[in-house]
Structure 1
Amino acid sequence: LIIIDTLRQDHVGCYGNRWIKTPYLDSLAKESVLFTHAYPDSLPTLQVRRVLQTGCRIFPFLDHKGYKGNLFVGSPGWGPVSEERDTIAEILQSHGYRTAFITDTYHQFKPSENFHRGFDEWTWIRGQEHDAYRSGPYPSREEIERYVPENLRKGERGLGGKFTDFIGRYLPNVADRSSEEDYFPAQVFREGAR
C-alpha cells in the first residue's frame, strides 16, 4: 500500500495525463490494481490513514476527543488507531506475512497514535512539518520571510499554528539537505526499495 499525500489523480500518466511525466508510477500501475472510482471516507492526512489501516469508517468523527501531544487537538478525526480495531498489518501478520511501515508523516508517531502497531519493522524518516527533530538553530526572521508569503505573515493561521512558526520548525529539520535525494520522497522510496 503506497499512500502519497496531495497527489492529484489528473496529474499522473496512468490516469490519463499526457503532459506530466510520471514513468515510475505508470510502470508500477501496470503491475498493480488501479482504482478509478475510489472515494475516501475522509481526506486529511491522519483520518484517511486510520480508515486504510483499519477498514473502518471514521467520519463523522463521533469518537473525537483531544489527545495529549496532538497538534490538532481541536480538529476532529486527528486521533489514534483505536485499540479495539485490528489493523491491516496485524491481519497480514496473523496470516504469515512480513510487514513494514515506512513513512515521513510525523503525525503517526505522536504520543498514543498507534499507527505503527502490527508492523514487523518500521522506519520513520524524520523532519517533516512540525516534527521536533532538530531544536535549532532557529532561523532568522529574514530567512523565514523568504519562504512565507506576506499574507501568511500577518497572523493568518497555517497548520495548527502561525505559518511562520511552522516554517521556523521545518527549516532546521532540512538544513543539511543539499540534493533532491536528501528530501523526504526520495528517502521514503529508497528505504522501501531495500
Structure 2
Amino acid sequence: MKQDNKKRGLLVICVVLLLLSSCSENETVSYKCPDCNVILISIDTLRADHLGCYGYYRNTSPNIDEFAKSAVLFKNVHSVSPWTLPSHASILTSLYPSQHGAHSLDGSLSNCSKITQNAVLLSEILKKNGFFTVGIVQSYFVSSHFGFERGFDFVREIDSFASMNKSVELFEQLVPQLKEKRFFLFFHTYQVHNPHNPEPKFLAMFNELNDSIKLAVLEGHHL
C-alpha cells in the first residue's frame, strides 16, 4: 500500500515494555524528525523474557519481534518500581517516585498518592510545543484520579478488564481526525495482566504442560 504523501511521518519513539531488565551493549542512536508524531505504547506487566526478540522460545510475540528487527531494541532497561502507578508516573515525568509523589498504596484506590502538581508530564510539554495530545488508557492506576489526564487534548479511560480491541477501535475512529495533525498518542493496556482469558489458539502454545501448570499460566505465574 502506498503511503499518502500528505500524511505526516510517523516515528514510534518508544514501545514501553514494563519491568524489563537484561544486559546491553553501549550504543548511541540519534533521531532527527521534526515533523514526526510521537506514539508511546505501554503494555502493562508484559515481561521481556516472554518475548521472542528477547530470546523467549515460544512464538508469543511475532508482531513485536518483527518490529524490533528494524527498531532500536533496548537491552538494559530497569523499572523504577514493580507496580503500575509509580512506574507510569515516572515514564511520563522523568522523575523518581520520591519526586513525582505517586508511589504509595494505602489499602484502597482512594488512598493512593497522586502525581504532584509541580511535576510536569510529557503530554504537557508536547502540547505546549504544538502537538495534539491523545490518551487512550485502561484506567485504574493510569487514570485522571492520579493526575494522568494533565496535558491531554483528548483522553479516554477504558475499563481495566475490557479487551484491548476496544481501545484499538477507539484509536481507529480518531485516525481521520489525526491525519492532518502533529500528534502525541499515549496508549496503555492491561491486556496481558492477570486474570488471563486467552483464546484457545494462544493457550495451545502450552499444550505440552499438564492441566495444573496451565492453570498457573492463567494465574500469571512464570514459566
Structure 2-normalised TM-score? 0.51
State the distance in 2 between where 1:62 and 1:6 align: 21
Q: Specify whether residues 117 and 186 from structure 1 end up closer, same or farther in structure 2 by C-alpha distance, changes over 3 A only.
A: same
Structure 2: stretches of 5+ with no match in the other structure: 1-39, 176-223
2:81 aligns with one of 30, 36, 42 = 42
Rounded Cα–Cα distance in structure 2 between residues aligned with 1:49 and 1:29? 22
> Is 1:100 the equivalent of 2:134?
yes
User: How far off is 1:70 after superposition?
Assistant: 5.0
1:118 alignment counterpart: 151
Assess if the C-alpha contact under 8 Å between 1:89 and 1:99 holds in 2: yes
Does the CA-based 8 Å contact 2:101-2:114 persist in structure 1?
no
Distance 1:98 1:189 in 2: 18
Structure 1 unaligned segments of length 5 or more: list them.
130-182
In the alignment, structure 1 residue 19 sits paired with structure 2 residue 87: no
What is the DSSP-based 3-state SS (H/G/I as helix, E as strand, rest coil) of the residue aligned with 1:50?
helix
Alignment of 1:50-65 (within 5 A): 50-59=89-98
1:189 is aligned, of 151, 168, 171, to: 168
Aligned residue for 2:113, secondary structure, equals coil
Larger deviation, residues 57-66 vs 2-11: 57-66
TM-score (norm 1): 0.58
The structure whose RCO (Cα within 8 Å, separation 6+) is larger is 2
Count of equivalent residues:
134
Counterpart of 1:92, as a letter, is L
Change (3 A) 1:14 1:27: same
Amino acid in the other structure paired with 1:115: F
Higher strand proportion (structure 1 or 2)? 2
Deviation at 1:100, TM superposition (A): 1.1
Structure with more helix by fraction: 1
Residue deviations 1:44-89 (CA, integer Å, cap 9, x gap): 111101101110011499786789x95273xxxx422211011001
Offset at 1:105? 2.9
Q: How does 1:1-194 map to 2 (within 5 A)?
A: 1-59=40-98, 71=109, 73=111, 78-109=112-143, 111=145, 113-126=146-159, 128=160, 183-193=162-172, 194=175
